[in-house]
């Protein structure tokens, strides 16, 4: 269009009118997964955690697919990076958001969304709100975990769709005991490979450290007779060998200290006989003084640990140099999940995973085997401070009974930095997928 000088104002007005009309017609998705907290604010997520609320233009939709009880919406041009340089056979997936609905209504739910997008009038925002409960579509189930936004940064293998372990060199450098740590290697890592020389029921008298700090932190001293459990002889819900603790048995770790932030992980089973499970959540690690402890048990009071009460749903943490009553928080799910074989849900599996993350401000976050955050302990009373001092596996200090027993640990490790919640969630899920045998 060619405008004369006299008509330029009218043409400019028409241009802005067309633009404003187009913008008024633009539609947006608004997904509100949870209330904002210290753990929210991520701009990427490979696992669906860390993003509380996200908005994406509707014209970025690539396609939608149904799944039982929900939809998966895939978006173009909604990733974190403009350019990504990958190795052959790798790709970074597109952004996806999974939303839940009542089973049997998946197709009609999709059609409602399509009708909203294609309607040139009406509201501009499609709200999926699990917090405020004022969603646009009645088919959407406004419950916890009903929204899963994934904005990937990790490349996948295009043939398997699994997160890529990289080439042979990458795998060699990043993988310990079957788990790819994505260059965030642990200082200490006691895993199943270090139990290869022990047969079923053998006393595990040593356990080599497979982490970065090497043999100087290997276990060579034990109390009583913690024994090896071989899944080929006794199925305890784990795919690999593990160390069973009974009564007041424990293993001594050469003093390992992590100052400030860290990430700690544990894989264990609650099954100790055929169809028999330990329903309690107890102390699994600590120091010789009984100051450091985690992740469970119920202390009798302040001071070094001496006696514990049984508990099944509350986390307790304390660090070296502290004798106050431990920082604690109730879990969002019952820990361990397998309590009563006849009264629990189909998620009953005796393989358990916990990932404990302490950030630079000494806030503590706990993740379960699904990768979900199940507890948060803020540092507002400064109870979370002190060094992480690990000298015991299976107990802390000189506890008289009710330390970790009637269960088996297959893996325990510590990374001496906070890799963030997305990695914590990724690690928890990968550990469970690797060790779960049911």
Strand partners, 72: 65, 98
Domain that holds residue 415: 168-435
Does residue 105 form part of some domain?
yes
Same structural domain, 178 and 323 = yes
Same structural domain, 420 and 280 = yes
> What pLDDT sits at residue 96?
96
Is the C-alpha dihedral spanning 366, 367, 373, 375 positive or negative?
Answer: negative
**CATH code: domain of residue 257:** 2.60.120.200
Token digits of residue 383:
């109870």
Which of 157, 188, 205 is a domain's end point? Answer: 157
Does residue 162 form part of some domain?
no
Which of 94, 123, 157 is a domain's end point? Answer: 157
The count of domains in the chain is: 2
Does residue 3 form part of some domain?
no
Does residue 214 form part of some domain?
yes
Q: Which of 79-93, 107-121, 264-278 shows the lowest mean pLDDT across its residues?
A: 79-93
Same structural domain, 122 and 187 = no
Same structural domain, 198 and 124 = no
Token digits of residue 269:
């089973």
> What pLDDT sits at residue 179?
96
Same structural domain, 103 and 237 = no
> What pLDDT sits at residue 15?
39
Separation between Cα atoms, residue 298 and residue 399, nearest integer Å: 12
Does residue 4 form part of some domain?
no
Same structural domain, 81 and 197 = no
Q: Name the more confident of 37 and 119.
A: 119
- Please compute Rg for the chain using Cα positions: 26
Same structural domain, 212 and 144 = no
Same structural domain, 29 and 96 = yes
> What is the band of 5 on the pLDDT scale with cuts at 50, 70, 90?
very low
**Please, which residues have CB within 8 angstroms of residue 398's CB and are 6 or more apart in sequence?**
290, 304, 305, 306
Burial of 237 (0-12, 13-18, 19+ CB in 10 A): buried
Which of 157, 186, 207 is a domain's end point? Answer: 157
Q: What are phi and psi of 168, to 5 degrees?
A: -60, -40
Same structural domain, 351 and 416 = yes
Same structural domain, 289 and 431 = yes
Does residue 285 form part of some domain?
yes
Does residue 40 form part of some domain?
yes
pLDDT digits (tens, 9 = 90+) for 365-377: 999 998 989 999 9
Does residue 97 form part of some domain?
yes
pLDDT digits (tens, 9 = 90+) for 254-276: 999 999 999 999 999 988 888 88
> What is the band of 8 on the pLDDT scale with cuts at 50, 70, 90?
very low
> What pLDDT sits at residue 400?
66
- Find the mean pLDDT for residues 198-215: 98
Percent of the chain with pLDDT over 90: 61
Q: Name the more confident of 144 and 120.
A: 120
Separation between Cα atoms, residue 225 and residue 248, nearest integer Å: 10
Separation between Cα atoms, residue 270 and residue 315, nearest integer Å: 16
Q: Name the more confident of 252 and 343.
A: 252
Same structural domain, 142 and 229 = no
Q: What are phi and psi of 44, to 5 degrees?
A: -135, 160
* CB count in 10 Å sphere of residue 78: 19
Mean pLDDT of the chain: 87
Same structural domain, 151 and 181 = no
Buried b vs exposed e over 369-398: b needs ≥16 C-beta within 10 Å?
bbbbbbbebebeeebbebbbbbbbbbbbbe
On the question of pLDDT at 105 being above 80, the answer is yes
pLDDT digits (tens, 9 = 90+) for 207-238: 999 999 999 999 999 999 999 999 999 999 99
């Amino acid at each position: 269009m060619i405008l004369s000088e006299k008509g330029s104002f009218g043409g400019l007005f028409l241009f802005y009118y067309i633009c404003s009309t187009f913008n008024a017609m633009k539609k947006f998705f608004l997904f509100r997964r949870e209330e904002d907290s210290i753990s929210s604010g991520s701009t990427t997520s490979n696992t669906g955690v860390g993003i509380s609320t996200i908005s994406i233009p509707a014209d970025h939709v690539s396609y939608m697919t149904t799944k039982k009880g929900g939809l998966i919406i895939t978006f173009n041009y909604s990733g974190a990076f403009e350019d990504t340089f990958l190795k052959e056979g790798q790709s970074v997936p597109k952004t996806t958001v999974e939303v839940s609905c009542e089973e049997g209504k998946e197709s009609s739910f999709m059609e409602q969304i399509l009708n909203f997008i294609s309607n040139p009038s009406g509201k501009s925002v499609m709200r999926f709100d699990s917090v405020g409960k004022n969603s646009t579509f009645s088919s959407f189930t406004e419950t916890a975990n009903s929204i899963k936004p994934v904005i990937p940064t990790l490349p996948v293998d295009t043939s398997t769709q699994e997160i890529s372990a990289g080439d042979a060199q990458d795998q060699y450098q990043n993988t310990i005991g079957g788990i790819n740590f994505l260059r965030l290697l642990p200082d200490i890592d006691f895993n199943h490979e270090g139990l290869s020389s022990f047969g079923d029921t053998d006393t595990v008298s040593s356990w080599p450290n497979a982490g970065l700090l090497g043999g100087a932190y290997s276990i060579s001293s034990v109390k009583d007779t913690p024994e090896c459990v071989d899944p080929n002889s006794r199925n305890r819900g784990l795919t690999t060998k593990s160390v069973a603790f009974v009564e007041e048995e424990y293993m001594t770790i050469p003093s390992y200290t992590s100052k400030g932030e860290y990430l700690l992980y544990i894989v264990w089973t609650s099954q100790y006989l055929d169809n028999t499970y330990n329903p309690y959540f107890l102390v699994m690690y600590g120091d010789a003084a009984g100051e450091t402890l985690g992740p469970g048990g119920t202390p009798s009071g302040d001071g070094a640990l001496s006696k514990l009460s049984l508990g099944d749903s509350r986390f307790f943490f304390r660090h070296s140099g502290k004798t106050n009553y431990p920082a604690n928080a109730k879990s969002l799910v019952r820990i361990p999940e397998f309590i009563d074989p006849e009264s629990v849900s189909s998620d009953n599996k005796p393989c358990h995973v916990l990932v404990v993350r302490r950030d630079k401000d000494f806030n503590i976050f706990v993740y379960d085997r699904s990768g979900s955050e199940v507890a948060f302990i803020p540092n507002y009373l400064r109870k979370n401070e002190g060094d992480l001092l690990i000298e015991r596996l299976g107990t802390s200090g000189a506890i008289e009974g009710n330390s970790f027993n009637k269960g088996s640990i297959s893996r325990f490790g510590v990374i001496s930095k906070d890799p963030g919640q997305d990695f914590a969630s990724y690690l928890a899920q990968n550990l469970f997928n690797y060790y779960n045998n049911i």
